[in-house]
Structures are given as C-alpha cells and as structure tokens.
C-alpha cells in the first residue's frame, strides 16, 4: 500500500471541496471495499477523506410513505429497520443476502453503492483489465467469466456490478441524493450506474468529488409485497450469479403494477422495463411471467461459460412473481 494522508473534515462541504481539489483523493466510508483495493494495489489514493461521521446515519419518514436513508446508515441497521422491513422487504432481503454480519456492521449505504466489481481480473493487478487500466484489454472475454455479464456489455468490459442493495433500489425507483462542488443534485438509482461502453473505468455517472449523502425511497403502496432472491455458488456470503428484486400489485387476477430489476446480469442493476410493460394488465400467471422474462432477456449475449444465467434469470423471475402473486391479499 502506498502512503496516504487521512483527514476527517468537520462538514460535508469541506469534504467535497477537499476531494474535488485532489484528483488522487477518495472518500472513505466503511472501507470494506476501498481498503481491500488499497491492499491489492487496485486503488492508490494519496488522500482519504473520512465521511463516516459526516453523512447522516438516520432513516427518516417521507410524507408520501417513503423513507430517506442517510448515506452513513450501516447496511445492518438499514436491513433491521422496522419500517424498511414492513414497507420494503425486498430492500431488507437484498441487504441481508450480501456480505457477512461483521461486514454489514461496517459497510455504509453510500459505500455499498460505490463498491466495485469482483471480476477476478479487475482485482488482480498482474492481469490486463480495461476497468482498472483503460487500454490494457479485457482478460475475462476469453478467460474466467462464469460470473460476468450477459446484457449490455461491451468488448471493453464484461464485468457485473456486485451490489445487492443497488438492485433493490433500482426496482424501487429510489433517488440518490448527491452533494458536489456545484451543489446538490438527485440521480435516479436506476441510472446511477452505467453500462461499460468505451469507458469501463467509470462505474457510475458521479463526477470526482461528488458525495452520496442520502437515498430516497418513494412510497410504494405495494412495496410490502416485494422480495429479493439471489442465486450463488454457496449458500451464504457470496456474490450473485443472478439476483431478482421484484414488487407486484395484483387486482382481480390481473397485474396492476410491477417493479423488476436483475442483479448479476450487467455492469449495472438491470431494471426490467420490457418485462414490466409486458405484464401490466395481463393475468398474474406463470406463463405470462415466463413470456415477460423472455422478452426482457431476448437480447442477452452470453459468453462461452455463462449461458446458464439466461434460463436462471428467467426461472428466478417466474418463481418470485408466482410466489408474490400467491401472497395473502392478492385478489
């Protein structure tokens, strides 16, 4: 690890100005990903600006039935929050399916969203990787890529985003609040992360120095009927092969409304709008769910060793929606 300076400013404005003014500065949250990358040589900041005491650790009620989650709220506290469990079970389940108990106690809401891919080549500085060093080439294209993308990838990068939280937030139409040198702005969670294109080194649309301060969860009347499912190589403490976040509103046997996002399929959480559009107004039935999933996945372009993800994603979506449509209260 290269030497670095550490600062803990008194306010968010100073933190933002400090990082903005130094291209090699980085914000420090719980550190569970960044410190690991510093040990591996993947990240080499010369200045860490600790924001754990600055961003809010509160979960506030919004007037529309939603919640505002401070960026400093720990993953464990967010998952355990009674209102989150009641109104947005998909969010609690997504968080609980990620990492381990002792990591969730450290990891923050903002930091979770900004964690980087677990592509083995990205994390190994001895192998070429366009995300780590643009222009080096992608080792995963012909290498070990079981975990990699089947949707929206480019020849430059086939990595997937690892956050479970981000998948739930994309499905819930969450809004990310950001403080930057020019003031505050809001970004739909669905568009916070980007597809790799020609610039896989950029995971998100954030500019250097912009700090996530909170995440707003808008009220969703059918939020209580939501769920997160994750398939992985071991039963616990592993990243997703495929994950599904879904919320379903059924009336008179028909789909009145639905929210769907996939994890593990792309460089960003994959909001399944084609599937959602296909389902609205249609019978809440497995064959309809299957057709919607297939519509969403029609453009999938698997690599040599990850073709299993396409039927896995389809089957998981059918299973989750079928379970949600059978829950108490579904008419």
Partner 1 sequence: MESEISLTVDGVRHDLVVDTRVSLLDALRERLGITSPKKGCDHGQCGTCTVLLDGRRATTCLALAVAHDGADITTSAGLESGGTPHPLHQAFLDHDGFQCGYCTPGQICSAAGMLDEAESGWPSAVTTDLARDPVLDAEEIRERMSGNLCRCGAYVNIVAAISEVAGRRSA
Which residues contact partner 1 (rule: CB under 8 A)? Answer: 1, 3-6, 8, 28, 31-32, 35-36, 38-39, 48, 50, 52, 76, 79-80, 85-86, 89, 92-93, 96-97, 99-103, 105-106, 235-237
CB 282, min distance to partner 1, A: 28
**Minimal distance in Å, beta carbon 219 to partner 1?**
18
Closest separation in Å from C-beta 273 to partner 1? 27
Q: Which is nearer to partner 1, 153 or 166 (CB)?
A: 166
Q: How far is the CB of 57 from partner 1 (least distance, A)?
A: 13
Tokens representing residue 42 in the block: 């993947």
**For residues 150 and 167, which CB has a smaller minimum distance to partner 1 in the complex?**
167
**50 vs 282, beta carbon nearer partner 1:** 50
316 beta partners: none
- Nearer CB in complex with partner 1: 136/236: 236
- For 60, how many CA atoms within 13 A lie in the half-sphere containing its CB? 12
Q: Return the number of the residue (96 or 153) whose C-beta is nearest partner 1.
A: 96
Min CB(147)–partner 1 separation in Å: 16
Q: How far apart are CA 95 and CA 162, in angstroms?
A: 12
Q: How far is the CB of 31 from partner 1 (least distance, A)?
A: 6
Give 183 or 234: the residue with its C-beta nearer to partner 1: 234
Smallest distance from the beta carbon of 194 to partner 1, in angstroms? 26
* HEC profile of the chain: CCCCEEECCCCHHHHHHHHHCCCCEEEECCCCCHHHHHHHCCCCCCEEEECCCCCCCCEEECCCCCEEEECCCEHHHHHHCHHHHHHCHHHHHHHHCCCCHHHHCCCEHHHHHHCCCCCCCCCCCCCCCCCCCCCCCCCCCCCCCCCCCCCCCECCECCCCCCHHHHHHHHCCCEEEEEECCEEEEEEHHHHECCCCCCCCCCECCCCCCEEEEEEECCCCCCCCEEEEEECCCCCCCCCCEEEEEEEEEECCEEEEEEEEEECCCCCCEECHHHHHHHCCCECCHHHHHHHHHHHHCCCCCCCCCCCHHHHHHHHHHHHHHHHHCCCCCC
Rank residues 93 and 325 by Cβ distance to partner 1 and give the closer one.
Answer: 93
Shortest Å distance, C-beta 101 to partner 1:
5
Cβ–Cβ < 8 Å for 98, 105: no
Indicate the residue among 71 and 297 with the shorter CB distance to partner 1: 71
The alpha-carbon radius of gyration of the chain (Å, integer) is 20
């Amino acid at each position: 690890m290269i030497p670095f300076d550490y600062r803990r400013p008194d306010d968010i404005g100073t933190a933002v100005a400090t990082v903005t003014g130094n291209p090699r500065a980085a914000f420090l949250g719980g550190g569970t990903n960044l410190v690991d990358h510093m040990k591996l040589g993947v990240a080499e900041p010369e200045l860490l600006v600790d924001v754990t005491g600055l961003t809010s650790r509160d979960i506030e009620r919004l007037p529309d039935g939603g919640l505002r989650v401070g960026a400093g709220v720990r993953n464990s506290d967010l998952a355990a929050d009674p209102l989150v469990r009641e109104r947005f079970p998909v969010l609690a389940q997504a968080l609980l399916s990620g990492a381990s108990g002792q990591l969730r106690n450290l990891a923050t809401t903002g930091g979770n969203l900004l964690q980087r891919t677990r592509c083995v080549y990205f994390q190994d500085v001895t192998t070429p990787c366009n995300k780590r060093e643009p222009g080096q080439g992608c080792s995963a294209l012909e290498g070990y890529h079981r975990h990699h993308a089947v949707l929206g990838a480019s020849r430059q990068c086939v990595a997937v985003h690892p956050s479970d939280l981000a998948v739930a937030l994309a499905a819930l139409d969450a809004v990310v609040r950001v403080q930057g040198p020019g003031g505050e702005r809001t970004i739909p969670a669905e568009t916070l992360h980007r597809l790799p294109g020609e610039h896989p080194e950029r995971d998100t649309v954030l500019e250097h120095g912009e700090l996530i301060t909170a995440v707003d969860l808008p009220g969703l009347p059918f939020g209580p009927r939501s769920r997160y499912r994750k398939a992985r190589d071991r039963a616990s403490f592993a990243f997703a092969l495929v994950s599904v976040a879904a919320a379903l509103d059924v009336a008179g046997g028909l789909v009145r409304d639905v929210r769907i996002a996939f994890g593990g399929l792309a460089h960003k959480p994959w909001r399944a709008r084609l599937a959602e559009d296909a389902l609205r107004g249609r019978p809440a039935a497995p064959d309809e769910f299957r057709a919607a999933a297939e519509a969403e996945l029609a453009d999938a372009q698997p690599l040599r060793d990850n073709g299993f993800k396409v039927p896995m994603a389809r089957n998981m979506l059918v299973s989750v929606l079928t379970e949600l449509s059978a829950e108490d209260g579904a008419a």
